[in-house]
Amino acid sequence: MRIVAVEAWPVELELEEPYTIAYETVERVTNVFVRLVTDKGPVAYGCAAPDLEVTGETAETVLEGIAEHGEPILRGADPFRRERIHERLRPGLRPQPAAMAALDMALYDLLGKHCGLPLWQLLGGFRSRIKTSITLGILPEAETVERARQRVAQGFSCLKIKGGLDVEADAARLLHVREAVGPGVELRFDANQGYSVEDALRFVKLTRGVKLELLEQPTPKGQPALMGSVTRRAAIPIMADESLMGLRDAFRLARRGLADMVNVKLMKVGGITEALQIESVARSAGLEVMVGCMDESALAIAAGLHFALARKNVAYADLDGHVGLIGDPAANAVTLSRGVLRPSSLPGLGWNPPAAAS
């Protein structure tokens, strides 16, 4: 089998509800869809969700990267020699992890379709579904509490609340959310690099009664020692997110004891191949893994889901980036019901577009 065509096109998606985190407000996003066509029939798909702040990419740079570096290498290649393909792609796409992720997941989609099996089964098949958190952006206290009640009423049993701008206000919101939803709902907090070490430790102290499950990326990613200081002194697990951009970061975090947990996002690390390697490093160091996401079409969410379902140590999921995206062409790639994500039963990543799709 050979790849005979590599195609990519942008899809602009508007959010039903814009949201705010520590460093930006998001109203709409652009994903880039990728299609690999083969000479033997199977057609495979991938998706990039670039984010200038996190991955350093835009839709335009992803399209350029795929056209300039991806297409020349993939056209005519045997798609099942993935390691060889990756070694050739990495030099040109190293600064573009979302573009790399889209091509990587398309190659895995092709493998699953060729074998006639969902990808999660090929990768390990540890579980068939997983609970996901649902994210609440930075909102006034009363709105946060009301939104938390709404999400719990929809069946979500894990809430991830954003903050990082004001320690006292963040702590107050968490305390009131806990009062509103009761003890049976898991609460996670993401500071998105917004705290100093002192801020983070004060936040942990103020929210002791909330019984948070974890505190995600409290300090700036460019100063890893600061997060290590929080990890050593805080009474709750500290998770690295923006500080983890690839396999080398995973090794450094593990070797220096800078975090208790890691958030692996396919768009940050460059796809499923790198995510599997990071999971192995984390497991060897005793670090639990959460699979996270950006503002992603359900196709990209599906790729993260298949990775999570395959491996035991991926114990947590934050795969809600597709929720509220208007006009997502791959909306049926996953099923989300009462806070639980399930994959499609179709082979590969489980999605094929209507015949008229681009």
Over the stretch 92-130, which tens digit does the pLDDT of each residue have?
999 999 999 999 999 999 999 999 999 999 999 999 999
- Cα–Cα distance, 194 to 20 (Å, whole number): 13
Give phi and psi for 355, each to the nearest 5. Answer: -55, -30
* Predicted pLDDT at 95: 95
For residue 219, tell me if it sits in a domain. Answer: yes
Do 20 and 13 touch, CB atoms closer than 8 A? no
Cα angle for residues 92, 97, 98 (degrees, 5° grid):
120
Q: What CATH number did the domain enclosing 184 receive?
A: 3.20.20.120
- Cα–Cα distance, 292 to 182 (Å, whole number): 25
- Among 241, 249, 274, 318, the active-site one is 241
- Among 104, 109, 170, 190, the active-site one is 190
For residue 348, tell me if it sits in a domain. Answer: no
- Cα–Cα distance, 330 to 46 (Å, whole number): 11
Distances in whole angstroms, Cα of residue 271 to Cα of each of 44, 70, 103, 212: 15, 14, 8, 29
Active-site residue, 216 included: yes
Please tell me whether residues 213 and 339 are part of one structural domain.
yes
Range of the domain at 147: 121-343
Do 50 and 36 touch, CB atoms closer than 8 A? no
pTM of the model: 0.95
136 three-state secondary structure: strand
Give the end of a domain, one of 81, 116, 151. 116
Please tell me whether residues 126 and 33 are part of one structural domain.
no
Please tell me whether residues 335 and 186 are part of one structural domain.
yes
For residue 352, tell me if it sits in a domain. Answer: no
Please tell me whether residues 294 and 167 are part of one structural domain.
yes
Residue 279 amino acid letter: E
Please tell me whether residues 76 and 155 are part of one structural domain.
no
Inter-axis angle of helices 167-181 and 197-206, to 10 degrees? Answer: 30
Give tens-digit pLDDT for 222-255.
999 999 999 999 999 999 999 999 999 999 999 9
Quick one: pLDDT band at residue 26, thresholds 50, 70, 90? confident
- Among 186, 265, 268, 295, the active-site one is 265
β-partners of residue 33 are 9, 47
β-partners of residue 118 are 348
Please tell me whether residues 23 and 67 are part of one structural domain.
yes
Active-site residue, 162 included: yes
Please tell me whether residues 137 and 279 are part of one structural domain.
yes
Nearest of 294, 243, 342 to residue 47 by alpha carbon: 294
Please tell me whether residues 220 and 326 are part of one structural domain.
yes
- Among 113, 160, 162, 221, the active-site one is 162
Q: Which helix (H) or strand (E) holds 249?
A: helix 247-256
Give tens-digit pLDDT for 257-298.
999 999 999 999 999 999 999 999 999 999 999 999 999 999
Number of domains in the chain: 2
Name residues whose C-beta falls within 8 Å of residue 337's C-beta, 6 or more positions apart in sequence: 155
Nearest of 349, 335, 310 to residue 122 by alpha carbon: 310
Chain center to CA of 89 = 22
Residue 268 amino acid letter: K
Please tell me whether residues 96 and 182 are part of one structural domain.
no
Give the end of a domain, one of 56, 85, 116. 116
For residue 357, tell me if it sits in a domain. Answer: no
Please tell me whether residues 36 and 167 are part of one structural domain.
no
Give tens-digit pLDDT for 341-356.
999 999 999 999 986 4
For residue 358, tell me if it sits in a domain. Answer: no
For residue 350, tell me if it sits in a domain. Answer: no
For residue 349, tell me if it sits in a domain. Answer: no
- Among 186, 216, 260, 320, the active-site one is 216
Please tell me whether residues 199 and 303 are part of one structural domain.
yes
Q: Percent of the chain beyond pLDDT 90?
A: 95
For residue 351, tell me if it sits in a domain. Answer: no
Please tell me whether residues 288 and 310 are part of one structural domain.
yes
The mean predicted confidence, pLDDT, of the chain is 96
Q: What CATH number did the domain enclosing 98 receive?
A: 3.30.390.10
Active-site residue, 241 included: yes
* Predicted pLDDT at 94: 92
Give the end of a domain, one of 116, 150, 171. 116
